[in-house]
Structure 1
Amino acid sequence: MLTRSQSHAESGFKRFYQLFKSEQAFVLTQLEGITAENDRRTYVSLLLQRLMCLYFLQKRGFLDSNTAYLSTHLERIQEHYGQDQFFRHFLLPLFHSKLSNSRASYAASPLFGNVPLLAFQLFALHPLELRYANIQIADRAFVHLFAFFDTYQWQLKEDQIQAENTLTAAIFAYICEHTSDQKQVGAYYTGTDVSTYITNNTIISYLFKAVQASYPAAFSSDTSIWQLLQRRPERYIQRVIRERTYLPAEASHEYRARQKRYKMLTAILSAGTINHIHAFITYNLDIFQFALDVIEDCEQLDWLLAFYTNIEQISILDPTCGSGAFLMAALHLLKTLYKACLQRMYALIEQHQLPDHSSRLSSNPVSLNRYNSLLQQIQQHHSLDHYILTSIITHNLYGVDLMPEAIEVCKLRLFMALLDHTECIEDIQPLLALQQNIRCGNALVGLIHDPEPAHPQAYQLSPAAEAHENADYGYKKNDRANNQPFHWFSAFPHRMQQGGFDIIIGNPPFVEYHKIKHSYQIQGYEKESCGNLYAAVIERSLALCRSEMSHLGLIVPLSICSGNRFKRLRQIIRQSTSPIWLSNFEIFPSRLFESAFQRLSILLAQRAKTPFRPALYVTGVKRWYAAERPHLINLISYTHVKSKASGSIFPKLASSLHEQIMQKILQKGKEARLESILHTEPTPYFVYYQEATNYWLKATCRVPFYKKNGKIMHPPHGRFLFLANEQLAHTVMALLNCSLFYLWFATYADSFHLSQSLVKSFPTGNALYTIAALPDLAIQLEEEIQRNAQMSTRNTRSGTRQKKPGYLIELEEYRMHSSKALLDEIDRVLASYFGFTNEELDFIINYDIKYRMGKKEYANSTLWPPAGAATLQL
């Protein structure tokens, strides 16, 4: 769940950003010497980023041991040089001569005092500073800006935020991803709970499987590792599941389902039936706590060293890393695991120490030598944390991104995490690994493998690779300037010699390929990546995975589950991975990413050799109100897809009961589907429905009123189903409006487009059309829809970019929730026909009911929490 610290961070960042934009606008008014408006905005953004970085450093005492370094020197410059000299006489020399340097002396200078040598590209001479030689910014801009910055607490540590006025280095990512053209580049700010969920489940799963390969006996079903679950089952069940009171906005039936889940998980854990790390993902257990407990409970130095060695060697890649949300989440996780292992090893050695300083802990001298070697390495650093973070940044984390500014922010965040455990200025050293491991380039364009493998692996292309076009995801030579081709074998030679990466995580761009084709072209992917870049990133990620134990964790659009374009992508995933986990998220009433109007899925998978039938675990499409967001991720509940009938799609199932219902429906498809009674040519009898669908499917035997700029016409995106007679038309109308058909749509569609193919494929059987009650209920429903309908007027805005005029639209809006009682009657009739149990019917009628009915109507129903029920206070 979102912790109080994370909640403080995200709400604080949002409020800071709103004020930050006003400060940015004020600095623009004080800027001289740059004429082009875009250049002016770019330079002010760069300046503010530089100054924010300095604020973090000065608050830590790294700028001449003065926590008010900038304000102090502003006053001094004004005293010695007069007004409006601070920028040119102090800041620019500080940026270019000191902070961007890696070779100058650490000796304090009369002007700057004692400041670190960072070698940050952020402070290097910028092209705009070369183009415009007379840039000037008035002192009042800095007085105003410093006063604003001084109202905040500047903290290098990105976790453990105690107040909403605390800023961490993550603010750089927030600003970067909110100021970029998000629709163009598909970059969105990733919430901490999402990145933590993905990193924990991929990294820890991999580590356990890697250690198990070396110590299989330690992971047998009756070992102490799995007995931890039996001894303290509640410790590994998410706290929100264990909560006895109602959660915010939780309905009565949801509360009962959560309590039932709690009992089920307790029984499974207590019975000792879980003996595989993947079960922690499937049951959404606390895998992080389990990893820590296994380390703390370990009594074998050899095993601990094996675990530690795998942590040291694990390679984690974000191929579209942006400003580093996932790499920072990985860093926080690895830091905890590193430290837990080292501290446990130290405790074991102390516990078994002999008078002659030898140990009875292990008869293997290699293990003791390895431990002593570790101690020597740690002693070369001024703290254990500094050693751990240096090791993680140097050996474990890799990132690539097309945007140079995002890459610089990513490097900055990683370096600041290290600075948080640095004691004095002299200990700050530029970290070469950041330049080598965090790289700017196009992850989709370039070669994975050197076509001339015998050529020395260096940071340059071999002659054969230079000439090798259109192979191994190649590129066109005339596009190289825009492509920024990234050749993996030359950028990361050691990793690629090892076969690739152990963990690939991230948030790929959700961008249609046709929108970027003018900038760069990708080749070698399935039909140009199925038309969207995220599909190409998945393909490339699978190609970069090192071994069968490698794990994948990506946030992708919901279209991965059932979009027709992505059929081949799903085949690739099925052929390359097992198990597969997919959790799915709606955009109404709330969105996973505030700025992304995109239905999303979280894909977790393990690389595997062409599995015969991969294990697939899915969720339904989850909706939520804002009050429910803190618990959203920890309430994820997967369903094991057991049926083969899902075919080429990934169904979205909320429970095993949900799958049972679908199987009973599909059984009828062996007799007939809806398409069997449809006419290909128009008839007087039809059902009209809207293709765009959200909470309700809206189907009638008439065309709704629609007028645009005074002209009556058919509404856009409407579809017709033509039938032989009125009775059939009313039967089909009843079917399309009911909750059962909504459940069919929610399971197999993309949660928005109701395609004709999905409608036609609904399994009806033959006897459905003989049920007399259905057309009678449809007639009543049509009358009720008309009584409850409301006329609405909308003025659409003109599109200046697309040169589209605005429109005055009058339309008839249906309020389907007002007919819920009648729709339930239709579902009861269908339940008898399909053979649904009372439990299955209850599931159908109440599926998404809280959101479909709306807060006001649902809150007044008997399904809301009973009066006086205790509710969890956040």
Structure 2
Amino acid sequence: TPKLVVENIVKETLASVFAGKTLNQIQQLKIADICCGSGTFAISIYDYLLEQITLAFIAEGIKDDELIYQSFNGSYILTLKSKQAFLVGNIYGVDINPYAVEVTKFSLLLKLLENENAASIDNYLAKYNQKVLPSLDDNIKTGNSLVDEKYFEFNPDAIEDDVLLYKVKPFNWKDEFPFLEETNGFDAIVGNPPYVRIQNMVKYQAEEIKYYQSTISGFTVAETETFDKYYLFIQKAINLLNPNGVLGYIVPNKFFIVKGGKALRGFISSHSSLCKIIHFGVTQVFPNRSTYTAILILDKKARELFNFKRIKKLSTEFIAGAINYVEYANAAYTDQPWIFVSKESEVIFDKVRAANTVPLQSIAEIPVGLQTSADKIYIIEPYTETDTTFKFKKGKVDYEIEKAICKPCLYDLSFNLFDSVTPNAQIIFPYTITDDKAEAFPEDYFEANYPLTWAYLNNFRDSLSKRSINGSKQPKWYQYGRSQSLTKFHDTPKLIWHVLSTKASYIHDVDNLQFTGGGNGPYYSLISNSEYSPLYL
């Protein structure tokens, strides 16, 4: 996460937490990053903490050379002893990667030594006869922030499965941070949670996803077919805050409007938690990545109003935190899509609504793509073909499968408005479609009629069998992970466009092109369910 963005999140989140606090009250604050990575946010918390502590010392007129001293240029500087105490007493972090945890500890200890020299360290050692670098083992810990002790209720056998435990890493918050019993939670949590779509969680975190979707986990934001891992981190962080706590995250802004974001919008709005939204729109915050983001500041306690600002570029105004906000009422935002428009624009929209206009959803459908939960297996990129087969590679291995089981597919292909697109891949489609209903092939039929494809998929049977397969009472190991859109792209003209695009890039398809993806894309399509042609729409 860029440093200027980290500093802005920390400042916007912690300003209200520190406001009006005495030095003694600041000493009691507990601030965390529960997905701390290599410690970028932890370092920024440390800087902000020391700045506020110094101001509190000055404001209260405390003069104690063991804690703070005045330098030759008149500025006040905290002693190494003070910095140690506040680092160990105020800053906490968790990450599932043990190497990241060690990097965070190391970074914080290096930061502790900033502005120290040989003389100051020798003086400290002579005076206190204790280690200069404190242990941070009780502050920065390894574990899965999202999976707690309830996992053993969900999966009782896990307690004896060392391999599973090493992978999932359940984390008991009150055992690891006993002070949470007394404080009822953290005063603030900041960070940049991982963005992982459900399709990738199914592939790489299958051991966890069923837990997230269970009632035992308590994750209401996972009670939907499409969600992202950062949804879980938002709900978990809110639950880990004390009654006056504040959360500050940078997350993708798509959940504001997409169907899959309804559960998260509902969770936030039901608590009237919105405090601030800094919306970056199409402005790219992360270098070399197309991610459309927003800074989300949430209060644990309910609020009547929240502040909103759309940022068009990372300007001096943003860096300095001198942002002019517009106020909105929390009550106006529910689980329905969050639309932020100016008062002038709202007048125009009201006129459009009053004119008895026909909403697009009443004359067209916008389905998601096929959801295999294993695109790298089902999607192939042939290097040659015969009359009846495709030949392709997976890794260093050559395979051959029947053409008849494949459908033309778009796979990570860019295109422009009104392009004529040639499919760049094929997707294995082990289904028959009858009367607009898709049925997975019976096993004996599949093996007898498509022996090459049957043999190919059997090479990956173990990984395919581990997927979470929905939409069927008795799922077959080779069917897709989800049943959405199986019949949507069958003999139906449609429009296709990129989900993440700053300009119109629609193409018209009459060749039954397939594509994969859930609510996050990479493509969307539009199918007319009225007399209107997709070309007109």
- Asked whether the two chains share a fold, i.e. TM above 0.5, the reply is yes
2:172 alignment partner in structure 1: 487
Structure 2 SS opposite 1:641: strand
Structure 1 SS opposite 2:170: coil
Residue 405 of structure 1 pairs with residue 99 of structure 2: yes
List per-residue Cα deviations over 1:306-328 (Å, max 9, x = no partner).
Answer: 52222211111100011111111
2:182 alignment partner in structure 1: 497
Unaligned runs of 5+ in 1: 1-189, 212-305, 347-370, 448-464, 709-715, 734-874
Letter in 2 for 1:596: R
Alignment partner of 1:205 out of 2, 8, 16: 16
1:499 is displaced (CA, Å) by: 0.5
Structure 2 SS opposite 1:691: strand
Letter in 2 for 1:378: L
Residue 608 of structure 1 pairs with residue 301 of structure 2: yes
Q: Which has the larger radius of gyration?
A: 1
8 Å contact from structure 2 (residues 18, 52) kept in 1: no
Letter in 2 for 1:659: E
Alignment of 1:151-300 (within 5 A): 190-208=1-19, 211=20
1:507 is displaced (CA, Å) by: 0.5
8 Å contact from structure 1 (residues 556, 601) kept in 2: yes
8 Å contact from structure 2 (residues 272, 330) kept in 1: no
Query: How far, CA to CA, are the matches of 1:695 and 1:677 in structure 2?
Result: 25
1:666 is displaced (CA, Å) by: 3.4
The structure with the greater share of residues assigned to strand is: 2
Q: Summarize the Cα distance change of 1:470–1:673 in structure 2 as closer, same or farther, 3 Å threshold.
A: same
List per-residue Cα deviations over 1:28-57 (Å, max 9, x = no partner).
Answer: xxxxxxxxxxxxxxxxxxxxxxxxxxxxxx
2:136 alignment partner in structure 1: 434
Alignment partner of 2:496 out of 690, 695, 703: 690
The structure with the greater share of residues assigned to helix is: 1
1:569 is displaced (CA, Å) by: 1.4
Q: Summarize the Cα distance change of 1:645–1:387 in structure 2 as closer, same or farther, 3 Å threshold.
A: closer
Residue 514 of structure 1 pairs with residue 195 of structure 2: no
2:528 alignment partner in structure 1: 721
TM-score for the superposition, normalised by structure 2: 0.60
Query: How far, CA to CA, are the matches of 2:234 and 2:331 in structure 1?
Result: 24
Residue 558 of structure 1 pairs with residue 246 of structure 2: no
1:535 is displaced (CA, Å) by: 1.0
Unaligned runs of 5+ in 2: 72-76, 126-130, 367-435, 437-487, 515-522
Query: How far, CA to CA, are the matches of 2:101 and 2:532 in structure 1?
Result: 64
Alignment of 1:462-861 (within 5 A): 469-470=153-154, 476-477=158-159, 478=161, 479-512=164-197, 513-518=201-206, 520-521=208-209, 522-523=211-212, 524=217, 525-526=219-220, 528=222, 531-547=227-243, 549-587=244-282, 591-608=284-301, 614-620=304-310, 622-624=311-313, 634=321, 638-642=325-329, 647-653=334-340, 655-668=342-355, 672-676=358-362, 689-692=495-498, 694-697=501-504, 718-721=525-528, 723-724=530-531, 733=537
List per-residue Cα deviations over 1:693-741 (Å, max 9, x = no partner).
Answer: 52333669x7699999xxxxxxx85534365479xx89x64xxxxxxxx
List per-residue Cα deviations over 1:444-464 (Å, max 9, x = no partner).
Answer: 1114xxxxxxxxxxxxxxxxx
Query: How far, CA to CA, are the matches of 1:678 and 1:515 in structure 2?
Result: 32
Alignment partner of 2:57 out of 331, 339, 342: 342
Structure 2 SS opposite 1:559: helix
Greater Cα offset, 515-524 or 499-508: 515-524
1:606 is displaced (CA, Å) by: 0.9
1:396 alignment partner in structure 2: 90
1:534 is displaced (CA, Å) by: 0.8
2:112 alignment partner in structure 1: 418
Q: Summarize the Cα distance change of 1:632–1:559 in structure 2 as closer, same or farther, 3 Å threshold.
A: same
List per-residue Cα deviations over 1:512-536 (Å, max 9, x = no partner).
Answer: 2224324645431236475321111
List per-residue Cα deviations over 1:772-808 (Å, max 9, x = no partner).
Answer: xxxxxxxxxxxxxxxxxxxxxxxxxxxxxxxxxxxxx
Q: Summarize the Cα distance change of 1:581–1:375 in structure 2 as closer, same or farther, 3 Å threshold.
A: same
8 Å contact from structure 2 (residues 272, 331) kept in 1: no
List per-residue Cα deviations over 1:118-146 (Å, max 9, x = no partner).
Answer: xxxxxxxxxxxxxxxxxxxxxxxxxxxxx
Letter in 2 for 1:495: L
Query: How far, CA to CA, are the matches of 1:379 and 1:623 in structure 2?
Result: 41
Q: Summarize the Cα distance change of 1:339–1:641 in structure 2 as closer, same or farther, 3 Å threshold.
A: closer
1:543 is displaced (CA, Å) by: 1.0
Query: How far, CA to CA, are the matches of 1:309 and 1:475 in structure 2?
Result: 46
1:451 alignment partner in structure 2: none
Structure 1 SS opposite 2:179: helix
1:445 alignment partner in structure 2: 147
List per-residue Cα deviations over 1:517-562 (Å, max 9, x = no partner).
Answer: 2464543123647532111111111110011x21110111122212
Percent of pairs identical after alignment? 22
Structure 2 SS opposite 1:546: strand
1:223 alignment partner in structure 2: none
Letter in 1 for 2:46: L
Structure 2 SS opposite 1:552: strand
Q: Summarize the Cα distance change of 1:668–1:331 in structure 2 as closer, same or farther, 3 Å threshold.
A: farther
Letter in 2 for 1:514: V
Number of equivalences: 377
Query: How far, CA to CA, are the matches of 2:165 and 2:101 in structure 1?
Result: 20
Structure 1 SS opposite 2:498: coil
Letter in 2 for 1:618: F
Structure 2 SS opposite 1:469: helix
1:636 is displaced (CA, Å) by: 5.2
Query: How far, CA to CA, are the matches of 1:679 and 1:509 in structure 2?
Result: 31
8 Å contact from structure 1 (residues 638, 654) kept in 2: no
8 Å contact from structure 2 (residues 363, 528) kept in 1: no
1:639 is displaced (CA, Å) by: 3.4
Q: Summarize the Cα distance change of 1:699–1:200 in structure 2 as closer, same or farther, 3 Å threshold.
A: closer
Letter in 2 for 1:442: N
Query: How far, CA to CA, are the matches of 1:617 and 1:415 in structure 2?
Result: 36
Structure 1 SS opposite 2:220: coil
Q: Summarize the Cα distance change of 1:509–1:345 in structure 2 as closer, same or farther, 3 Å threshold.
A: same
RMSD of equivalent CA atoms: 4.0
Q: Summarize the Cα distance change of 1:554–1:725 in structure 2 as closer, same or farther, 3 Å threshold.
A: closer
Query: How far, CA to CA, are the matches of 1:409 and 1:666 in structure 2?
Result: 54
8 Å contact from structure 1 (residues 317, 501) kept in 2: yes
Structure 2 SS opposite 1:436: coil
Q: Summarize the Cα distance change of 1:632–1:475 in structure 2 as closer, same or farther, 3 Å threshold.
A: farther
1:580 is displaced (CA, Å) by: 3.0
1:645 is displaced (CA, Å) by: 6.9
Query: How far, CA to CA, are the matches of 1:561 and 1:436 in structure 2?
Result: 37
Query: How far, CA to CA, are the matches of 1:543 and 1:319 in structure 2?
Result: 12
Query: How far, CA to CA, are the matches of 1:323 and 1:196 in structure 2?
Result: 16
Structure 1 SS opposite 2:154: coil
